[in-house]
Structure 1
Amino acid sequence: MGEGSTLKRILILHTGGTFGMLEKEGVWKPNERISKDDLLSVVPELELLAQIDVVVPYIQDSAELTLGHINLLASTIADNRDAFDGFVVIHGTDTMAYSASALSFMLAGLGKPVVFTGSQRPFMQIRTDAKSNLINSVEIAASSFNEIALFFGNKLLRGNRTTKVSTWKFEAFDSPNFPTLGEAGVNINFNLYPVGNPTLEAQEFQPFSKLRETVFVIHLFPGLQNTDLDFLLHNERIEAFIIVAYGAGNMPTGKDSGLVGFITLAIEQGKIVVIATQCTHGRVSLDIYESARIVKQLRVLGCKDMTLEAAVMKLTYLLSRYDDDRQKVRTLFEMNIAGEITDEHHIVR
């Protein structure tokens, strides 16, 4: 495109995942040599939608994702903020919801769209969803849309509201407690939704790219004993536990389980304890059942209707950014700071 082009400038960040994989020895493996020319040779339509540039921060099967990768992704976008009108992140599906959630906090106030996408089949294959996902994502990033979002299977979702729900369907992601932001059909239609996103109202862009390992997730199941968990209390690196409980935040509180004792000791050590739910839909409410109320009295925090991915990355972000102010971490965790929590007056049922 010439210098006088009116098309917007979109930076595609290719990080690996199924999208660009090649079949080797009967399995799909990351293709470390993918380039802008490779993308445009398969999807030449992209240049009709925007002025395209491509960077490769890293190439990784997303199951290998670390906080270091997320930090690099955030810093790459922050460094290119002024040079581009929008960003598209090609990412593996297994941990895409974690990265999208993390960047919604780390890049608050960015003021430009970031659209995560990927595919269930590599883009070099005949029957692939990669081409349509990428074309739609670039068109969205070049529009007036302004969110950190995820586009997959014709649905546009708020990034920190998503979770992967299928290993084989092209509609691999869902937003269980929040409406879709848009849908691609003959046209791309953006939906009006009742809950705003505080990220969009941020007055100052203060990017953060120094996430560190602080959070440990405990998934409850019948038979889990506190003796199975006590060794975790001796790990100084763990600063917070997210307990994925039953229903609205219920868990065994009797003497036989010992979970109350574990939580009590953790909090006495200055660690933060958060209660999430194993349910996909609904929210954590620690005031409904007696077992949850007993735990609430121990000064645990509730995830409300956050996805587990959003809760993990939000708590990681807060502990990394405000490591010297635990009370601020506690306060902000239960507040809606990037559209990740639904106000109780606007619950989607």
Structure 2
Amino acid sequence: MKKRICILYTGGTIGMVPTEKGYAPKKGYFYDRLRAIEDLNEPNMPDWDMIEFEPLLDSSNIAVDQWNQIGRAIRDNYDTYDGFVVLHGTDTMAYTASALSFMLEGLSKPVILTGSQIPLCQLRSDARDNLITSVLIAGQGIVHEVCLYFGGKLLRGNCAVKTSADGLIAFDSPNFHSLAEAGIDIHYNTDAIVPPSKGVSLNLVEFRQTSIGVLKVFPGIQFSLFESIMTESLKGIVLETFGAGNIPSYDDALLPIIKKAFEHGTIVTVCSQCPSGTVKLGAYQTSAALTGAGAVSGYNMTTEAAVAKLYYLFSLDLDRDLIKTKMEENLRGELIK
């Protein structure tokens, strides 16, 4: 029996058309463009349907409400289809992939995010290959998690980051192997693929609107400028530090702020600005005090994954200590110790 794939078209460059104000999505346009691609209708391809979101969005405008909308579309159609392809803009695709990986508990089918750097309607577009290969991967059913396919590589969704604004190989997974590479054939890295969830039904955890921030440390940073945001309303913050978790010690200005945030109940998660490698709190004197101030290690999580994980854990109504514990645990393959 042929596999059935659901294509969720949320917007993004892949389906945009030229306008007087630049590229923009056009309602009702993209389905006919897909039907015109002969390869998508070949006998060896899975059958597919498309759900077009309303409104179509540039991915810069995608946030918690849109993550929940995508999650609901997968949940509501989960029993009808063998896999899902989410067409999405590239700017926040890694954030959405991370969010979906946490939202979709008990997932046992492929959910593949993809898009393009050049619209399908343009010459030299990368959209055609990204789309066709994503549909094939979703139909093969070898992966059973949220993934991101782009430029010939299948990446774990919550380990992916966007690395190029204009290159056709726009995403990478600095701390984890690719799950597959597409050349003449699609070669899967079977050792890296997690087994499907068995005996568990899909459960969607919708994210709540939660006050979460990201603070990037830089030379000369005046920490006092950020003290005003460390209020009781700030639930979580991702601190992007140097190297393995190091911070400048300028008169120890940061630590009192972190302690204040901790006292207010804020979860401070330390990630690294380095694309690869891991945070090791305490490896250097400049990082040891972060633990004493109440911060937790993000190890080698991407900032995208850390933000999505905070949204997820706060949406579960867990107490602060349990959230701190789970931020340092591997829940969906996002953390490689």
**Coarse TM-score class (shorter-chain normalised):** over 0.9
2:10 aligned to 12, 15, 21, which one? 15
* CA apart distance, 1:297: 1.5
Q: Is the 8 A contact 1:16 1:30 kept in 2?
A: yes
Q: Is the 8 A contact 1:13 1:56 kept in 2?
A: yes
Further displaced range: 296-305 or 197-206:
197-206
| 2:119 paired with 1:122 | yes
- Determine helix, strand or coil for the equivalent of 2:271: strand
Partner of 1:346: none
| Distance of aligned partners of 1:329 and 1:230 in 2 relative to their CA distance in 1, 3 Å threshold | same
Deviations 1:242-277 (A, max 9, x none): 11111101002342x510110011111111111111
Q: Is the 8 A contact 1:199 1:337 kept in 2?
A: no
Partner of 1:164: 162
Partner of 1:269: 264
| 2:330 paired with 1:336 | yes
Q: Unaligned stretches of 5+ in structure 2?
A: none
How much identity, in percent, do the aligned residues show? Answer: 40
- Determine helix, strand or coil for the equivalent of 2:277: coil
CA distance in structure 2 between the aligned counterparts of 1:112 and 1:298, rounded to whole angstroms = 41
* CA apart distance, 1:130: 0.2
CA distance in structure 2 between the aligned counterparts of 1:201 and 1:307, rounded to whole angstroms = 28
CA distance in structure 2 between the aligned counterparts of 1:199 and 1:303, rounded to whole angstroms = 25
Deviations 1:284-319 (A, max 9, x none): 110210010111122211111111111111111111
CA distance in structure 1 between the aligned counterparts of 2:299 and 2:203, rounded to whole angstroms = 26
Partner of 2:211: 214
CA distance in structure 2 between the aligned counterparts of 1:240 and 1:31, rounded to whole angstroms = 37
Give the letter aligned to residue 305 of structure 2. Answer: A
- Determine helix, strand or coil for the equivalent of 1:57: strand
Partner of 1:33: 28
| Distance of aligned partners of 1:204 and 1:335 in 2 relative to their CA distance in 1, 3 Å threshold | farther
TM-score calculated relative to the size of structure 2: 0.94
Q: CA RMSD in A?
A: 1.6
Give the letter aligned to residue 246 of structure 2. Answer: N
| Distance of aligned partners of 1:283 and 1:212 in 2 relative to their CA distance in 1, 3 Å threshold | same
* CA apart distance, 1:80: 0.6
Partner of 1:303: 298
| 2:54 paired with 1:60 | no
Give the letter aligned to residue 223 of structure 1. Answer: G
1:253 aligned to 249, 253, 273, which one? 249
CA distance in structure 2 between the aligned counterparts of 1:18 and 1:173, rounded to whole angstroms = 15
TM-score calculated relative to the size of structure 1: 0.91
Partner of 2:179: 181
Give the letter aligned to residue 334 of structure 1. Answer: E
Partner of 2:47: 51
CA distance in structure 2 between the aligned counterparts of 1:200 and 1:290, rounded to whole angstroms = 42
